[in-house]
A and B are shown apart, each in its own frame.
Chain A
Amino acid sequence: MLPELKVVALVSIGQHIKSGRFQRADQDARAVELGLKLRGVDLTVLHAGSADEPVLRRYLGAGLKAITVLEQPAKADIVGPMCEYLNEQGAQIILAGTKAECGEASGMIPYLVGERLGWPVVSRVADILSVANGEAEILQALPRGQRRLLKVRLPFVASVDNAADAPRQSAFGPGQRGHIHRVQAAVVADELSASWTQVPAKKRPKRLAVVKAKSAADRFKAATAKSQGAGGVVLQAEAPREQAQAIVDLLLEEGLIQ
């Protein structure tokens, strides 16, 4: 545990896939678990939305002393006020889930916050192994159980993957007794999303898989494979200038910069 480190876990309201009932968002709860590992029960847990949402008590049930709620109405753009608050608090590590379970929750938040604060964003974190001398050793989750060790300078934003430790059980007693700090914040209307219409997602029809595998190992591979990016070039021996030029060329080619 690192008592001097300022870690903030961002939590949203999740939704159960079968019943549609609101619940702890699983990946957000994993972010809290990772934060608890780094920082203990003094971890700052931040939610932007309504402080009266009962699900917040489920997060408190992990034994947290308090949850901070930036009071925001539904449909507000929370990124600005949230970044302002995070800056004020001197956050060094910001943890969030990777996917939203409902509404505009975790999904884009780490990227928008990272962009606004100008911090690096590390996606799909499985674990943070150590933080020392202003640098964190991070295990990033890759498809099929692979891991990549990254060294990232503080401060940074990390989105937490399903591969991270499962959240501890939420206990009713601490959940009831934990405090909910209400923080008033500016409200920015989200003009973009105001024009959206939302419809329930439909499952796309699935193409029947033709099993070509010859062995059990192949079948296992086929069943567990996630799509991996094809192509790409590994540039290791080249001079930094050439490497940078290759990146710029690619970005131009993909139309990401002009």
Chain B
Amino acid sequence: MLTLLENLLPILLFGMVAIALVGAVRRINLWRVGQAHPVNIIAGLMSIPRRYLVDLHHVVARDKYISNTHVATAGGFVASLVLVLLVHGLGLDSAVFGWILLFTLLCMFVGALFIYTRRNPPPSRLSKGPWMRLPKSLLMFATSFFIVTLPVAGLVSSTFGSWVLGLILLVGIIWGLGEMLFGMTWGGPMKHAFAGALHLAFHRRPERFGGGRSTALLPIDLDSNSDADAHFGVGKTSDFKWNQLLGFDACVQCGRCEAVCPAFAAGQPLNPKKLIQDMVVGMAGGSDAKYAGSPYPGRDVGQAKGGANNIITEGLLDADTLWSCTTCRACVEECPMMIEHVDAIVDMRRFQTLERGLTPNKGAETLDNLIATDNPNGMDPASRTHWAADQNLPLMKDVQEAEVLFWVSDGAFDMRSQRILRAFVKLLKAANVNFAILGDEECDSGDVARRLGDEATFQSLAKRNIAVLEQYSFKRIVTTDPHAFHCLKNEYSDFGGHYDVQHHTTFINGLVATGQLKLSAFKGGKVTYHDPCYLGRYNGEYDSPRELLAVLGIELIEMERSGFRSRCCGGGGGAPITDVPGERRIADMRMEDIRGTGADVVAVGCQQCTAMLEGVVEPGPEVQDIAEIVAQSLLGEAH
């Protein structure tokens, strides 16, 4: 009976390939409703193997179980498919190829078994539904082709088996091929392989591959305003760039983003995985009824309806979902498909703010203040240096040049942050650093405005800051605020501002290394360190703060979630301003992490983190900026 199957197989195989090709064209056309974004097609396609095997695998390999499993299954499948087409499609009758095919199918089978085991029972972050079927389909594909390949390898005669076996194998082959080829381009779970490979090829941030980093938000052209249909930001799914849509389609629903999202954990109505799936619904049309993962906390699945030309916040998702995000980038860091959730969220926020004027809660007030006073709380811009009234700090306006420009940031207006600033000034003076501040000429960096979607105010602030900085000569900018640090370092370059910017922990570390600061041992008890998102994940600075603490003789007790997996304090992305209600507060959860280490002091490197963590109900560990800790340990100082 296998002989008959052998005659049917080429028709089945090439039929399925043809159907898959039709599906691929259809899928590509779905992406093409997005906006143009030029890519190099040839170079992109050529880059797939390297980006897949190196960059993507690097992320996947953080979970050894699934990376090994995926190598066996995916590698086994790709090799098997090629050989199946040769051996069974084109009738290449070679025992050697038969043996190789048997081996690759076995690889795939073993891998699929592990996938099956992992989903028994599935962890909550994984999607169910068709994703529960996938391991069975993989096993079916591997098993049925294994049996029909046995005669090719010469292990059994081609007349082996009865017509019953033939019929069973036929069903298995159709099932396997259906999932793997038809499903790949017609929206089944295997879509992640097809869209994922192309997403790697045409990624909107190619700098991320090869060990690079690209975290600056991408600017929009505010002058492109001619026709009546023009609008800023993403209001409809079709307003995304085509390769962003492609990126959404690449999602494998592994839920790693969900597992690390602070807003999801706090019970706010955001789940990055669901958001990406909703974007797919928006692109392809229909509803989210088939979504089989965790919902947005507090919202039922099945209500969302979308179409490429429908306004996203009218039916597809609530604006609250967009405003829950702290832009901490934990989801982007964890995503094995390198999807850019934060870009998508900020794009949609831009529409809400720039077109609809619907920035929630204190958002509008904050933006108005930034426009009128260049700081988010509407303080008198002429009082920016009042915190340093007794510090006798040189102003750039007077000295014109200095080695270090100390970027004070809006902490100047906040009494808690002023303690950090004073501590840092004490260190600068102790090390005899030639520095100056901008004083009243400094504006807010634009971080909050940009993350609240107000690109216009951000660009206005950025351009004015750049114009001020241009007047003076300095070697580098140093700041105690990681948000300003990120803007100055990464986001001003789009507007002509290129600077050597350092976070104060990096700078102090340098002073200690060159012997300009002499420190005694820290005597304040056990210490843990909280990585600020905008210093760590956004800028890759994990070491300097730790080295500095080590110099003080501190043995850090690391939290489970530290380094690139650090949990956000809840203070980023304007989240404290838009203040979307949840079941818990993100800062409380982070303080629980800190308490879990038994530390007496939590060292931070960000005034925003300090404010968020100090806002947690006492008793708890003391929150101190690294500048404060170092300033306490300065040798030759009377305490």
A interface residues (Cβ-Cβ under 8 A, vs B): 16, 18-19, 21, 23, 61-63, 168-174, 176-177
Contacts and interface: CB of A to CB of B under 8 A. Distances in A.
B355 A173 contact: yes
Given A169-B364, A172-B454, A19 B354 contact: no
A176 B221 CA distance: 13
Contacts of B231: 173
Contacts of A170: 357, 368
Interface stretch (B27-35, B102-110, B374-382, B605-613): B374-382
A75 to B, nearest CB: 25
B458 to A, nearest CB: 11
Contact of B373 (A21, A63, A172): A21
Contact of A19 (B230, B373, B455): B373
A23 B371 contact: yes
A245 to B, nearest CB: 52
25 contacts: A18-B379, A18-B381, A19-B380, A21-B372, A21-B373, A23-B368, A23-B372, A61-B357, A62-B357, A63-B357, A169-B357, A171-B353, A171-B354, A171-B355, A171-B356, A172-B222, A172-B353, A172-B455, A172-B456, A174-B355, A176-B222, A176-B225, A177-B225, A177-B228, A177-B230
Given A168-B357, A171-B355, 19 more contacts: A18-B373, A18-B380, A21-B373, A23-B371, A63-B357, A169-B357, A169-B359, A169-B364, A169-B367, A171-B353, A171-B354, A171-B356, A171-B357, A172-B222, A172-B353, A173-B225, A173-B354, A177-B225, A177-B230
B contact residues, range: 20 to 34
Most chain A CB inside 10 Å of its own CB: which residue of B230, B355, B358, B454 = B355
Contacts of B357: 61-63, 168-171, 174
A110 to B, nearest CB: 25
Nearest to A16: B372
A18 B355 contact: no
Contacts of B228: 177
Nearest to A19: B373
A120 B446 CA distance: 47
Interface of B: 222, 225, 228, 230-232, 353-359, 363-364, 367-368, 371-374, 378-382, 454-457
B354 A172 contact: yes
Nearest to A18: B380
B359 A19 contact: no
A169 B364 CA distance: 6
A122 B358 CA distance: 32
A201 to B, nearest CB: 16
Contacts of A61: 357
Nearest to B374: A19
Contacts of B454: 172
B322 to A, nearest CB: 16
A169 to B, nearest CB: 4
Contacts of A176: 222, 225
A176 B231 CA distance: 10
Contacts of B371: 23
Contacts of B368: 23, 169-170
Contacts of B380: 18-19
Contacts of B456: 172
A171 B222 CA distance: 13
B186 to A, nearest CB: 38
Nearest to B371: A23
A168 B230 CA distance: 22
Contacts of B372: 16, 18-19, 21, 23
The 10 closest A-B pairs by CB, nearest first: A171-B357, A169-B357, A169-B364, A18-B380, A172-B456, A16-B372, A173-B355, A172-B354, A19-B373, A173-B354
B310 to A, nearest CB: 19
Nearest to B364: A169
A168 B364 CA distance: 9
Contacts of A21: 372-373
A61 B356 CA distance: 9
A52 B173 CA distance: 73
Contacts of A19: 372-374, 380-382
Nearest to B379: A18
Contacts of A173: 225, 230-232, 354-355
Contacts of B457: 172
A55 to B, nearest CB: 10
A169 B358 contact: yes
Nearest to A63: B357
A19 B383 CA distance: 10
Contacts of B381: 18-19
Given A63-B357, A172-B454, A16 B364 contact: no
A36 to B, nearest CB: 12
Nearest to B380: A18
A17 to B, nearest CB: 9
A183 to B, nearest CB: 23
Contacts of A177: 225, 228, 230
A29 to B, nearest CB: 10
Contacts of B455: 172
Contacts of A172: 222, 232, 353-354, 454-457
Contacts of B230: 173, 177
Contacts of B367: 169
A170 B457 CA distance: 12
B378 A18 contact: yes
A66 to B, nearest CB: 13
Contacts of B364: 169
A23 B225 CA distance: 23
Most chain A CB inside 10 Å of its own CB: which residue of B222, B231, B356, B382 = B356
A15 to B, nearest CB: 9
A100 to B, nearest CB: 17
A173 B379 CA distance: 27
Nearest to B228: A177
Contacts of B353: 169, 171-172
A173 B454 CA distance: 10
B319 to A, nearest CB: 13
Contacts of A169: 353, 357-359, 363-364, 367-368
A18 B380 CA distance: 5
A18 B375 CA distance: 11
A23 B372 CA distance: 7
A16 B228 CA distance: 32
A45 to B, nearest CB: 16
A18 B377 CA distance: 11
A169 B232 CA distance: 16
A18 to B, nearest CB: 4
Contacts of B359: 169
B378 to A, nearest CB: 6
Contacts of A23: 368, 371-372
A42 B371 CA distance: 27
A170 B454 CA distance: 11
B630 to A, nearest CB: 35
A179 to B, nearest CB: 11
Nearest to A176: B225
Contacts of B358: 169
